[in-house]
Structures are given as structure tokens and as C-alpha cells.
Amino acid sequence: MPELNYWCELAWLPPGEAVKGVLVTVTDSMISDVVPGVAEPPAGAVRLAGLTLPGLANTHSHAFHRALRGVTQREKGSFWTWREQMYTLAATLDPDSYLALARAVYAEMALAGITCVGEFHYLHHAPGGRPYDDPNVMGHALVRAAREAGLRIALLDTCYLTGGIGTPLTGVQQRFGDGDAERWAMRAEALLAAYRHEKDVEIGVAVHSVRAVPAEQMPVIGRFSAHHAVPAHAHVSEQRGENSACVETYTATPVEVLCEHDILGPRSTAVHATHLSDVDIALLGQSGTHVCMCPTTERDLADGVGPARKLRDAGSPITLGTDSHAVIDLFEEARAVELNERLVSEQRGHWTAAELLCAATADGHSSLGFADAGMLVPGAWADLVSVRLDSVRTAGASAHDLAETVVFAASAADVHSVVSGGRRIVEDGRHVLGDVGAMLGEAIAAVRGEGA
């Protein structure tokens, strides 16, 4: 088996400390050995400067939203006006244009140190809701895009049945729907079967939201997740309007509805969890449900600030997602979790840098069904993300505040090397696919109908 040695100037090792001179041996796609205290790189070892972290997990992505960056910043509005702009874009995508766009977006993620993405995928069908000849062709395009960009993917096949509680799908929403949960499950079963033996792909499931899946259909999705032991994600209480419509129909909050219909648990992730009651927090925490915070999207869409610290204290592991890709930078997401709590509480120091790195790495991977990733230990996936400590943002860090410097001051641009599943996909800040900016520009112009 091919074996490769990486010598890290500094590496982030369990239980959460930066250690000098760490030799990481990679066999195929996995770490086979980790030896600290190696003063100099041995002959033949690849030298990784700066601080080397485990691979970052982006637990919530809608790849096509990347084409909205900038466009949606021109006018006033709300989540709901933003959603109309998103729908206009969704109407234009086909399997080829989605492949090109997603490949470029995932390459942008790779440059930011992300080695695993959770793609919350609901753009299943052709315009009008007609299934493609292969009804999973859009999902296959996303898997191929991730592989070509060098990422692992948890493709979260999303059930999306109604346009709002009690209202049918209209317009572009018809592309999202399978009719009912049983037909959704048949399509998802076929997708799962296609990747059953592929260890770099996890097929998970998702309830789009209480807006889009009637409560009585949710247990089908919960059973699918339990039966196949795969992740189940759901958008939860992103907007107050969603909460009030839910309470009006079900006399229960979205978290209560998901709990009563078998969606919560350690394999599950509540995305956003912004507007929660104390009972909601207890239900999520006691069930061990992960919570995915997407602070840069939540602030972009004027959603609000979720109670991340209370959720963690109640028992929910916190993870991070770039969601609409207003920016793709997990350091920015990580520090925003702490900085948002400061603004709300007028107190500092809710989260340590080490806790936030855990959210970006080990806890993120566990939410995506890759429990054997996100730590630099033997037996884990060989994902090594090296961050410069000599850039204008990070220079001057002392040995005692390396994690704090990276979490609170570094940007995605400080990632200079990425090894993903044993493969070097970023070297000297360049992705193996070449000019990712040009790829993004071309793919986005194509889907916006602007030509290349």
C-alpha cells in the first residue's frame, strides 16, 4: 500500500492542543501513524508549515446558492424576498450546469480547508417536476462534483412536498417534490444503493422543514435514517414566521413536531435552530441531536442569533455550515458563533477556540456520518489542513495562542495546503483543478444566463 509521510511544523492533536514537530503517516486514504516531537522533517517527508488542523466539515451547503452571492445584496428585504431570488436561479439549472457550478463551489471549499461537505439537496427534478430519465441525475452530478474537487460528500437527499404548511408546490418548487414521502423514499433508496460500497460518499436524508413536509409523512424519513443508519438533517426554526405557522397548525413548535415524528436523535442535525423555546433546547439536547449553526448566512438573511451555547450545554454537539455561501470560510463561521453570543449577551468568552475547532472538525464530521474523521489520530481519514502563521492576519501568534489566532483572525485565504482522504488537493494555495476563480466565474455566468 502506498505510504506517505507529512511532517507538520505544528499540528492540532487531541484533546485540543498545538504540538510541535508531528510526523503523520498516511496509508492510502487513512492516517496510519502520528508521532509528535520529531524535530526535523525526515528524508522524503512533505513539510507542512504553520498549524495543521484536521479536515474541516461544512455540514450545511446548497451548492447552487453560491451563484446568488452579491446579487442578493442590492435591495432591502427579508428571508422571504431572498427566497424568490433563489427560486429564479433554481429554475435555470440542469445536470450539466449544476455539475460545473458545484465542482467550482466545492473547489472553493477545498481552498478554504473543507474536506467534507453536507449537501442538503432538494433540486431533484426537471422543470415542472418531471423526473429525469435517471431520477437521481442531479444527485449524481453533486457526488461527481465533490469527487472531482477532492472532497468527501454526505449527500442529504431532501424530502420537499409542500410550498408551505397545507399549500401545494408551485412554480419552481415543483422541481423539489416527489409527491409523497413513500415516493421520495423509493428514489432515495435507489440513490443509496448506487453508493452503498463507496466509502467517500454518505447518502443521508433530510426533512426540508416543517413548511415543506407534513408531520404525518415525517416518520417515513425517520425510519429511513434509522433503518440504514444514515444522517437525517432538517431546517429548524430559521424564521419566526415558520414557528407561528407551525404552532397554528400543530399546536406545537417545529422542534416538538420533529421530536414527535421520530426525526431527532444522535444521528440527526437541526440546521439553524434560531428561534427556540427552552423546551425546544431541552428536546434537542436530551436527544443528542446535533445543531448546525450557519452564522454568516443567518446574518445575511436577517434570521437572528440562535442559542448555541445553551444548546451545547443541553447536550447538542454544535457544527458549522456555510449554507447559502454568502462567504465560504469556516473560520468566519466559527468565530461568529462566539461573537454573536457576545453581541446578544454583552459578555465575552462563551466558547473557547478549541471548542470552536471541534465544531468545525470532529463534531461536524459526526453529523455527516463520518465518525472516523476530523481528528489527527491513527485510523482516521487522512485530512490535513495547514494554515499559515506568517500572513498579515496571523503573524505574531505566540505558542500559547495559536488556536485563538486561527479561529479569531485567520481567513480561508490562510489555508495553504490541503490533504483530503490522503490526496493533496491544495498546494501553495492552489487547487489541483487550476484557476478556481475562473471556474466559478464561468459556471455562475452560465447559470445566470449571462454567457461565459
Looking only at residues 153 through 172 of this chain, which bind Zn ion when binding is defined by CB under 5 A? none
Q: How far is the CB of 292 from Zn ion (least distance, A)?
A: 9
Contact (CB, 8 A) for 246 and 254: yes
Q: How far is the CB of 235 from Zn ion (least distance, A)?
A: 6
Task: Name residue, grid cell 456520518.
Answer: 369
SS3 329: coil
Q: How far is the CB of 51 from Zn ion (least distance, A)?
A: 30
The nearer residue to Zn ion, 65 or 103, going by C-beta atoms, is 65
The nearer residue to Zn ion, 234 or 281, going by C-beta atoms, is 234
The nearer residue to Zn ion, 200 or 303, going by C-beta atoms, is 303
Distance CA 232, CA 206 (A): 5
Site string for Zn ion, 271-310 (x = CB under 5 A): ----------------------------------------
Q: How far is the CB of 99 from Zn ion (least distance, A)?
A: 21
Looking only at residues 310 through 329 of this chain, which bind Zn ion when binding is defined by CB under 5 A? 323
Contact (CB, 8 A) for 333 and 292: no
The nearer residue to Zn ion, 280 or 323, going by C-beta atoms, is 323
- Reported as type and span, the H/E element at residue 21 is strand 17-27
Q: How far is the CB of 13 from Zn ion (least distance, A)?
A: 33
Contact (CB, 8 A) for 29 and 55: no
Q: How far is the CB of 409 from Zn ion (least distance, A)?
A: 27
Write the burial class of residue 145 (CB in 10 Å: 0-12 exposed, 13-18 middle, 19+ buried).
Answer: buried
The nearer residue to Zn ion, 287 or 297, going by C-beta atoms, is 297
Q: How far is the CB of 65 from Zn ion (least distance, A)?
A: 8
Write the burial class of residue 36 (CB in 10 Å: 0-12 exposed, 13-18 middle, 19+ buried).
Answer: middle
Q: How far is the CB of 138 from Zn ion (least distance, A)?
A: 16
How many residues bind Zn ion (CB under 5 A)? The answer is 1
* Cell numbers placing 11: 499540528
The nearer residue to Zn ion, 242 or 323, going by C-beta atoms, is 323
Q: Which residue is nearest to Zn ion (CB)?
A: 323
The nearer residue to Zn ion, 90 or 397, going by C-beta atoms, is 90
- The pairing of strands 114-121 and 56-61 is parallel
Residue-wise over 268-290: b if at least 16 C-beta within 10 A, else e? bbbbbbbbbeeebbbbbbebebb
SS (H, E, C) 202-226: EEEEEECCCCCCCHHHHHHHHHHHH
The nearer residue to Zn ion, 274 or 394, going by C-beta atoms, is 274
Helices 95-111 and 436-447 sit at what angle, rounded to 10 degrees? 150
Q: How far is the CB of 323 from Zn ion (least distance, A)?
A: 5
Looking only at residues 199 through 228 of this chain, which bind Zn ion when binding is defined by CB under 5 A? none
DSSP assignment of 341-398 equals: HHHHHS---SS-HHHHHHHHTHHHHHHTT-TT-SS-STTSB--EEEE-SSSTTTTT--
- Helix (H) and strand (E) counts in the chain: 15, 16
The nearer residue to Zn ion, 323 or 332, going by C-beta atoms, is 323
Applying CB under 5 A, which residues contact Zn ion? 323
